[in-house]
Amino acid sequence: MEPAGVALERKIIDPDTYFDHNRPPANLQRTHDQVASFLEKHKASSRPIVLVTSGGTTVPLENNTVRFVDNFSAGTRGSASAEQFLSLGYLVIFLYRENSLQPFNRHYTHNQKGLLDYLQLDNGNVTVDPAYMEQVKSDLLKYLSSKDRLLQVTFTTLSDYLFLLREISRLVAPLGSQAMFYLAAAVSDFFIPSHSMAEHKIQSGSGDLTLRMNQVPKFLRPLVKNWAPLCFIVSFKLETDVKLLEPKAKHALEKYGHQIVVANLLNTRKWQVWLVTRDQDPCVLQISKEDLDAGRDIEQDIVAELARRHKEFMSRDA
Amino acid sequence: MEPAGVALERKIIDPDTYFDHNRPPANLQRTHDQVASFLEKHKASSRPIVLVTSGGTTVPLENNTVRFVDNFSAGTRGSASAEQFLSLGYLVIFLYRENSLQPFNRHYTHNQKGLLDYLQLDNGNVTVDPAYMEQVKSDLLKYLSSKDRLLQVTFTTLSDYLFLLREISRLVAPLGSQAMFYLAAAVSDFFIPSHSMAEHKIQSGSGDLTLRMNQVPKFLRPLVKNWAPLCFIVSFKLETDVKLLEPKAKHALEKYGHQIVVANLLNTRKWQVWLVTRDQDPCVLQISKEDLDAGRDIEQDIVAELARRHKEFMSRDA
């Protein structure tokens, strides 16, 4: 018997057939309606718009799902970036994994605290604990002043994500160069098609488990070619091996024909990223340890630089 | 080539060897110290104590973890039960999956809202939105009045969970029948041993992925036999197929020799459970749809019945 571990074989399905064989998420129609009215409401503003995707997708191992494969991502990159886009005047559609970090609210979650830990009883009145008051007030002001330009949509599974991405892309596509796609979500590379899945919880009585998973087709191709061909598209690449980073980013740009890859390493991603384009040397963005410890987000630099390039992209189009 | 899907083979390692081959979590020593001083502080109170485990464990697929297999569990059962144990006067050690639901705070998370959504600005002052005030105040009162009897400890991976479970069990064991174990966490059945794991992110360029996972040894056996042999131990069984529920629960009781299995089905678990013991017919607990919709937790009934049986267990021991 082979030892526990992983092995790879060849077989990839066509992106187009994926949608025929998987069920759309319950919030698809609602999302269509919400995005359409969001775009309608802000039509006259001529603000740039960005779709930010954030958090990891899951792939179920059983049709009655007890177990699933997940991708490591709290949604820090996406939620922090959404804040920066809002501060630069963008309209933001935030497509995020349910229960992952959300803009502004991200500072008060995933930290072993809950709502009640920020509150106190003061003579019978519920108030915010003075230790947090200043920060809470500052974030609340920012949140309230930009909430109107933020539309949040949730996904859980890979399949939810792909259906929602296609739907939103088609609605945003008519805005052409005015729209940016900032695809920071950690999307699964492998899945088990619904028809090959175990119906009930996989039983553990009989020893080892062998899972055979299919590769997820690359949806960046139809996104760039068909769904939103005139938009400014930024994809992300997370690796753990630095040697693979630039070649894989360049390869993606050549293969899919989009504008920028933001490349980063699992262990240094909070303070260092590379912006990779087809024609130029990678541009490295990084912040110091002091700035990082002082609470500065590298997303401020990433988004500022991308907004600058997006502006150039729009002006070439004008 | 076989289709995508699952296959099983035989091979299970010894529970004792598990700890030799896996690295303890960063919070192991801190948890030891916290539990020891929690027990010391409440020594004179003679209150019963319960260890509640809650949420799902993860198993990494890579040593530099980008992907992992997760178990479906928000931690509803565990967090709601911890509240009930506190209301009955228990001391509670709550061992929960990081970012899963916590007692009292659970009502304000995993609902697409964050802290800022419960607050408002009122003449420049931050206050709780009146729509939530009554509920928040009621939960805050309960939380503040029982916080002193609640110790919360987090885990993420299967390995974290097992090390922490063993450590806490050994510290609690000397309390004998006064201690209950309420093992509601959804623990992985399969894992990839560290030495067989891919070092870097598994590459997706080459087609299908085959994962070969080993079965996790059953830690209920050493828990009941060696770590805490005199305590009152309640395990959980979640299935999707009703036919397997009672036989699997009875089988576990005979195999491990503990006191009770709480058996439930994925789709009805919020309003129906069975308490299964070795000698009696299963006792079904259920609440009506009306009660469920009105916000009643079935955990109120489960915990009341278990506390009653725990009292009997203690009195037989006296």
Q: Is A253 in a helix, a strand, or coil?
A: helix
CB contact under 8 A, A128 and B117: no
Q: Which of residues 68-107 of A touch B (CB under 8 A)?
A: 68-72, 98-99, 102, 104-106
State which residue of chain A sits closest to B125, comparing Cα positions: A137
Q: If you write DSSP's letter for every residue of A132-168 in order, what string do you get?
A: HHHHHHHHHHHHHHHGGGEEEEEE-BHHHHHHHHHHH
What's the pLDDT at B4?
A: 47
DSSP β-bridge partners for residue A212: B5, B210
pLDDT along chain A (318 residues), means of 10: 46 76 93 98 96 95 79 93 98 97 96 95 93 96 97 96 97 98 94 71 68 88 95 94 92 96 94 95 94 94 98 90
User: What does the pLDDT read at residue A72?
Assistant: 81
Task: Name the residue facing A116 among B105, B211, B244 (closest C-beta).
Answer: B105
Closest Cβ–Cβ partner in A68, A213, A214 for B72: A68
Looking at mean pLDDT, say which of B55-69, B207-221, B250-264 comes out highest. Answer: B250-264
Neighbour count for residue A39 (Cβ, 10 Å): 18
| A110 contact B CB<8A | yes
pLDDT: is B67 or B97 the higher one? Answer: B97
The parent domain of residue B125 ranges over: 15-202+209-317
pLDDT of residue B238: 87
Phi-psi region of B111 (alpha: psi -120 to 50; beta: other; left: phi over 0): alpha
pLDDT at position A62 is: 76
If one counts the domains in chain B, the total is 1
**pLDDT, position B223:** 96
State the average pLDDT for chain B.
91
Interchain CB contact of B186 with A (< 8 Å): yes
Partners of B62 in the β-ladder: B198
Backbone angles phi, psi at B267, to 5 degrees: -85, -15
Let me know if residue B2 belongs to a domain: no
Q: What percent of chain B has pLDDT over 70?
A: 92
Identity of the residue in B186, B207, B240 whose CB atom sits nearest the CB atom of A8: B207
Mean pLDDT confidence for B7-12: 50
Q: B1, A9: Cβ pair inside 8 Å?
A: yes
* Cβ–Cβ below 8 Å for B267 and A207: no
Q: Which residues does chain A have within 8 Å of residue B2's beta carbon, measured at their own beta carbons?
A: 212
Cβ neighbourhood burial of B317 (10 Å; 0-12, 13-18, 19+)? exposed
A264 has a chain B CB within 8 A of its CB:
no
CA nearest B241 in A: which residue? A200
CB B21 within 8 A of CB B193: yes
A231 in a structural domain? yes
> How far apart are alpha carbons B104 and B102 in whole angstroms?
6
Q: Check: CB of residue A219 under 8 Å from CB of residue A228.
A: no
Question: Is A110 part of any domain?
Answer: no
Q: What pLDDT was estimated at residue B3? A: 42
- Cα dihedral A274, A275, A277, A283 sign: negative
Angle at B139 between CA B136 and CA B142, to 5 degrees: 150
Contact A114 B102 (CB under 8 A): yes
Q: Does A77 fall in a domain?
A: yes
Chain B positions touching A138 (Cβ under 8 A) are: none
Look up the CATH number of the domain holding residue A275. Answer: 3.40.50.10300
The larger pLDDT score, comparing residue B200 to residue A151, is at: A151
pLDDT given for residue B79 in this prediction: 98
Which of B9, B12, B115 comes nearest A210 by C-beta?
Answer: B9
Chain B interface includes A64 (CB < 8 A):
yes
For residue A35, tell me if it sits in a domain. yes
CA distances to A103, B55, B90, B106 from B82, rounded to whole Å, are 31, 13, 9, 11
- The whole-angstrom distance between residue B144's C-alpha and the CA centroid of its chain comes to 23
Nearest CA in chain B to A210: B212
| Average pLDDT rounded to a whole number, residues B216-224 | 93
Answer yes or no: do B9 and A206 touch at CB < 8 A: yes
The reply to whether residue A212 touches residue B2, judged by beta carbons under 8 angstroms, is: yes
CB contact set of A100 (below 8 Å; sequence gap of 6+): A54, A55, A56, A73, A74, A75, A78, A79
Q: A166 exposed, middle or buried (CB, 10 Å; 0-12, 13-18, 19+)? A: buried
Pairing of strands A232-239, A260-265: parallel
CA distance B41 to chain A (A): 22
Picking from B98, B92, B256, B94, the residue whose alpha carbon sits closest to that of residue B184 is B94
Determine, for residues A208 and B137 on separate chains, whether the beta-carbon distance falls below 8 Å: no
Cβ-Cβ contacts under 8 Å, A115 against chain B = 105, 108-109, 115, 118, 136
In the predicted structure, residue B255 carries a pLDDT above the cut 70: yes
- Asked if B192's CB is within 8 angstroms of A209's CB, the reply is no
**Is A267 touching B (CB cutoff 8 A)?**
yes
* ipTM for the whole complex: 0.90
Q: Is A284 on the interface with B (CB under 8 A)?
A: no
* A63 belongs to a structural domain: yes
Answer whether residue A85 is part of any domain: yes
B276 band by pLDDT with thresholds 50, 70 and 90: very high
What secondary structure does DSSP assign to chain B, as a single string? Answer: -PPSEEEEE--B--HHHHHHHSPPPTTHHHHHHHHHHHHHHTGGG---EEEEEESB-EEESBSS-SEEEEE---SHHHHHHHHHHHHTT-EEEEEEETTS--TTGGGGSSSS--GGGGEEEETTEEEE-HHHHHHHHHHHHHHHHHGGGEEEEEE-BHHHHHHHHHHHHHHHGGGGGGEEEEE-SB--SEE--GGGSBSSPPP-TTSEEEEEEEEPP-THHHIIIIISTTSEEEEEEEES-HHHHHHHHHHHHHHH--SEEEEEETTTTTTEEEEE-SSSPPEEEE--HHHHHTT--THHHHHHHHHHHHHHHHHHH-
Q: Is residue A237 in a domain? A: yes
Q: Which residues pair with B122 in a beta bridge?
A: B125
CB contact under 8 A, A241 and B200: yes
